[in-house]
């Protein structure tokens, strides 16, 4: 962990890299209210196909699609896909300021949020100790963070989305 409590890590996707379309339970998906998909899954062919099937079937069955961009590196590798997918499928987006800046190619975090909110109806953007922003149908709001001494921020975005 760095002095500012940011993570220093190497991502290991573990068993998730084996995910295939055949693993998606379409009956359970149809009875869900929200499907939640990680951006990390866009890196492998099988995981990409499973993610896309989940998005398509969710839309077809009125299930909202929530997506997390996962990491600025994921965004940079698949930026054009993420923009297209956000526009076509994502009802809810979770990201942090660095991921938002990478997707929008804007340096200002609020401009980055505006860009994404033009693609998806509901966007949550965490901003470290500064709290979080959310944009609903283009209207941006902010919730302050509260003072804590961070020890390790690994998993903070996952916890926020949960």
CA 46 to chain centre: 19
Measured CA to CA, the distance from residue 149 to residue 146 in angstroms comes to 10
159 pLDDT band, cuts 50/70/90, is confident
Measured CA to CA, the distance from residue 67 to residue 88 in angstroms comes to 12
Extents of the domains making up the chain: 23-144+151-161
pLDDT tens digit string along 62-104? 999 999 999 999 999 999 999 999 999 999 999 999 999 999 9
Averaged pLDDT, 13-38: 91
- Confidence (pLDDT) at 7: 57
| Pairwise pLDDT comparison (95 vs 16), residue with the higher score | 95
Measured CA to CA, the distance from residue 124 to residue 117 in angstroms comes to 9
Measured CA to CA, the distance from residue 3 to residue 42 in angstroms comes to 31
Task: State whether CATH 3.40.1190.20 applies to domain 23-144+151-161.
Answer: yes
Measured CA to CA, the distance from residue 29 to residue 24 in angstroms comes to 8
């Amino acid at each position: 962990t760095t002095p500012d409590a940011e993570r220093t890590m190497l991502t290991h996707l573990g068993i998730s890299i084996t995910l295939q379309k055949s693993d998606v339970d379409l009956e359970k998906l149809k009875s869900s209210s929200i499907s939640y998909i990680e951006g990390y899954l866009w890196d492998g062919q099988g995981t990409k196909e499973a993610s896309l099937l989940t998005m398509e079937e969710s839309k077809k069955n009125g299930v909202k699609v929530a997506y997390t961009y996962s990491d600025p590196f994921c965004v940079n590798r698949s930026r054009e896909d993420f923009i297209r997918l956000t526009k076509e499928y994502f009802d809810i987006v979770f990201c942090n300021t660095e991921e938002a800046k990478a997707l929008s190619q804007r340096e200002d975090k609020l401009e980055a949020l505006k860009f994404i909110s033009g693609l998806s109806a509901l966007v949550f953007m965490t901003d470290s100790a500064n709290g979080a922003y959310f944009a609903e149908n283009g209207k941006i709001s902010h919730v302050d963070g509260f003072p804590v001494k961070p020890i390790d921020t690994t998993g903070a975005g996952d916890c926020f989305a949960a």
